[in-house]
Structure 1
Amino acid sequence: MAQQMIWGIRAETAQEEWIYNFWNEQLGIMNQMEPCEGTCNDHFVYWWHAHVIDALADGFERSRNPRYLARIDRVIEGVKRLSGDTLLHNYYDDMEWMALALLRVYDATKLAVYKDHVMNLWESIKTAWNGHCGGGMAWKKDQLDYKNTPANAPASILAARLYQRFGDTEDFEWAVRIYRWTKENLVDPQTGFVWDGMNRLGDGKIDYDWEYTYCQGVWIGAGLELFAITGDTAYLSDAVRTAETATARFAPDPGGIMADEGEDDCGLFKGIFVRYLRDLLRIRPDLHPIRRMLFRNAEALWNRSRNERGLIGRSWQGPVEPKVQLSAQLSGLMLLEMVASLPNAAPSD
């Protein structure tokens, strides 16, 4: 059986196990822990559910099964209900993730309702830009002087994708402006490694000791989108340099298995990283070390970090925690969907 078919079956199995283990029919969301024991949704995490929509969109793109779209609609309703009948939020990066996910749903359906959601979010997101730290997008509405990669790189991705779909030159200008600020302030000019943020404590300092996979992933994604628009290979070179640096740092040989980055939000970071590495491989399939790394991690997850119920651990080398957070399950599911979407690829490539 072809490798792509095998991974497609595994991804579909993981989607079914995810729904079985986490879906909350009453709330119309995924439980945020399994087992939930009645309290796991007391603090609703909006941005995890943006990635719930992303993962369901992965399933639809692979299978074209409309049940994924029906589930997405339920999740949107659930998120709105738990957020005060709105998709707007205090955290700019959370809204960016939601807009990116819903733009994918618009791409799949061409239904105006999803575009309307995206554009409403985008109008709020644009208020993040201000003069603190010389520009850049703020992390949240009540801390406008803290600027970080999670609020800037996804905003550049979103603006670039909006330009590609709807042709508003202001969106392209937004994408470039945000990208330039991020590169000048949060990307190591020597290595391309992406730092998390600056001025978190109001002291103007960069958090050099915060090293996270998802910062690398979204920066790679921003470069790919601007390369797609402009054809300027400098953007692609930025993406490749960061991908190679980050892969060497987070998945060093021998073995090349990415480490557990921690609980709560940190459980989602690797899934974001592998999503944008997959996007890079679609443009640069010759980057064989990165391809091999993704497949090694997927094999490790499938064989060592997935229990008899299909729950996935934070560490892709196992073991699975007694209580599995939705964030960790999402990262594992996204890894399986990403390798399933790479054609004719095997770990030995």
Structure 2
Amino acid sequence: MIYTKFKISFLALIILCFQMPQKTLGQNYSKLANNLQKQIQQDFYLHSLNYYREFADSTAPDHKVSYLWSLCALWQADNEMEIIDPKKKYLKKDFTVIEKYNDNAPPAPGFDSYPAEFKKEDRYYDDNQWIGLTAMDAYKRTNQQFYLNIGEKIYRFMMTGFDTVSGGGLYWKEGDRSTKNTCSNGPGIILALQLYQATHQKTYLDTALLLYRWMNKHLQAPSGLYYDNLKIASNTIAKYQFSYNTGTMLQSNIYLYECSKQKKYLKEANRIAEAALKYFYADSKFRDDYWFNAVLLRAYQQLLKYNPDTKYILAFKKCVDNAIENNVNKNGLMGKPKPLNLVAQGGMLEILARLAWLQKEHYL
């Protein structure tokens, strides 16, 4: 009798072990992320100037230092690196570079696309918003007022790009009224909702809903994915579909669900997630830029809190593994053809850092 009970218990234990989630053998994403981060510092950081260069190849025919967009990619990536290794302090160091792009010109302070000490260029609403999103992620994690102040500054600047032409929405860049883009409205919704969660000021929620409704009316495809922009003069749609545009709107729905608890937003988030899976990841290869995909991964990661199905992450992971296997150069940077830009490296660094966290927390 004792032997029988032991045998039954042993069999039950074996069955239970097989039912438990198992860690997938394969890439060590944490190690890959740390290696890439070191290589970025070695190949892109200009110690003498405290700037980053745009291309790893210093002879590449371009500006002397990087565009702000590249720093947007790196700053978010370094936020994720601090999450997997809290002892590291990357964000404040990065910001000593970012603040050199600051421009206090009216109607509101914001960040130039290129530092004025070299050559003053346009201010883009989306570049500023990416900075704001990272700042708000850092604020939620650290509760430091410094980051909230940046988020509020960016919100004030982005709202100078709003008007009621074509029914509302934000333009893409300052001084250019030709298009209203998903890449400026999607992150604008998220920033407003992050600020609402942080401050509970209803104005932020009202803004988010205003932009959200405009986006869905003008730039959502029937599939659930999102088109690129509305051309104001002709009232026509540029129907390119990029992963980051779908990513911001997927994440917008998740934030709206968190803020309102209305299930319609979660239902829509799941619909968009499914459409993105079929369009962007069915072939186990990325359709567009690494950084674009990093933005969509943000949404898939957040969706796991409400939809535990890991199929989206696993499909994304196959694309990452394919890139690691086939598109790493001899120095460890992403992309074999030259020139290798900082945006792509920052995008992949964010992806690797997020997968490192997911690998630990969700047994992927």
TM-score computed with the length of structure 2 as normaliser: 0.82
Which has the larger Rg?
A: 2
| Match status 1:327 vs 2:343 | yes
Deviation at 1:243, TM superposition (A): 1.9
Residue identity matched to 1:123: R
1:194-209 paired onto structure 2 within 5 Å: 194-199=226-231, 202-208=233-239
Identity in percent = 23
1:91-110 paired onto structure 2 within 5 Å: 91-110=124-143
| Match status 1:257 vs 2:276 | no
Mapped to 1, the partners of 2:347 and 2:33 lie a distance apart of 12
1:260-279 paired onto structure 2 within 5 Å: 261=288, 268-279=291-302
Q: Secondary structure at the match of 1:33?
A: coil
1:338-349 paired onto structure 2 within 5 Å: 338-342=354-358, 343-346=361-364
Report what 1:317 is aligned to. none
Mapped to 1, the partners of 2:306 and 2:38 lie a distance apart of 30
Structure 1: runs of 5 or more not aligned: 314-319
1:18·1:310 contact (CA, 8 Å) conserved in 2?
Answer: no
Report what 2:6 is aligned to. none
1:306·1:312 contact (CA, 8 Å) conserved in 2?
Answer: yes
2:196·2:205 contact (CA, 8 Å) conserved in 1?
Answer: yes
Residue identity matched to 1:147: K
1:117-132 paired onto structure 2 within 5 Å: 117-132=150-165
Structure 2: runs of 5 or more not aligned: 1-21, 104-113
| Match status 1:162 vs 2:195 | yes
Residue identity matched to 2:192: A
Structure 1 residues 288-326: Cα deviation after superposition (integer angstroms, max 9, x where no partner)? 33122121122222222222311102xxxxxx1132111
Residue identity matched to 2:319: N
1:1-349 paired onto structure 2 within 5 Å: 6-37=28-59, 40-42=62-64, 44-80=66-102, 83-84=115-116, 90-188=123-221, 190-199=222-231, 202-208=233-239, 210-253=240-283, 256-259=284-287, 261=288, 268-286=291-309, 288-313=310-335, 320-342=336-358, 343-346=361-364
1:130·1:144 contact (CA, 8 Å) conserved in 2?
Answer: no
Mapped to 1, the partners of 2:305 and 2:32 lie a distance apart of 21
Q: Secondary structure at the match of 1:144?
A: strand
Deviation at 1:67, TM superposition (A): 3.0
Aligned residues: 328
Q: Secondary structure at the match of 2:363?
A: coil
Report what 2:107 is aligned to. none
Structure 1 residues 115-156: Cα deviation after superposition (integer angstroms, max 9, x where no partner)? 222212211111222111111111122123521111111000
Computed over aligned residues only, the root mean square deviation of the Cα atoms, in angstroms, reads 2.5
Deviation at 1:70, TM superposition (A): 4.0
Structure 1 328/38 Cα, relative in aligned 2: closer, same or farther at 3 Å?
Answer: closer
Deviation at 1:2, TM superposition (A): 5.2
Q: Secondary structure at the match of 2:238?
A: coil
Residue identity matched to 1:68: Y
Structure 1 70/128 Cα, relative in aligned 2: closer, same or farther at 3 Å?
Answer: closer
Mapped to 1, the partners of 2:36 and 2:316 lie a distance apart of 17
Deviation at 1:184, TM superposition (A): 1.1
Deviation at 1:43, TM superposition (A): 6.8
1:193·1:246 contact (CA, 8 Å) conserved in 2?
Answer: yes
Mapped to 2, the partners of 1:213 and 1:277 lie a distance apart of 12
2:68·2:98 contact (CA, 8 Å) conserved in 1?
Answer: no
Mapped to 2, the partners of 1:22 and 1:283 lie a distance apart of 38
2:172·2:179 contact (CA, 8 Å) conserved in 1?
Answer: yes
Q: Secondary structure at the match of 1:67?
A: coil
Mapped to 2, the partners of 1:327 and 1:102 lie a distance apart of 18
Mapped to 2, the partners of 1:90 and 1:273 lie a distance apart of 24
Structure 1 245/304 Cα, relative in aligned 2: closer, same or farther at 3 Å?
Answer: same
2:39·2:332 contact (CA, 8 Å) conserved in 1?
Answer: yes
1:136·1:181 contact (CA, 8 Å) conserved in 2?
Answer: yes
Mapped to 1, the partners of 2:173 and 2:88 lie a distance apart of 35
2:53·2:66 contact (CA, 8 Å) conserved in 1?
Answer: no
Mapped to 1, the partners of 2:204 and 2:170 lie a distance apart of 14
TM-score computed with the length of structure 1 as normaliser: 0.86
Structure 1 134/43 Cα, relative in aligned 2: closer, same or farther at 3 Å?
Answer: farther
Mapped to 1, the partners of 2:41 and 2:328 lie a distance apart of 15
Structure 1 340/282 Cα, relative in aligned 2: closer, same or farther at 3 Å?
Answer: farther
Deviation at 1:26, TM superposition (A): 2.6
Mapped to 2, the partners of 1:74 and 1:90 lie a distance apart of 19
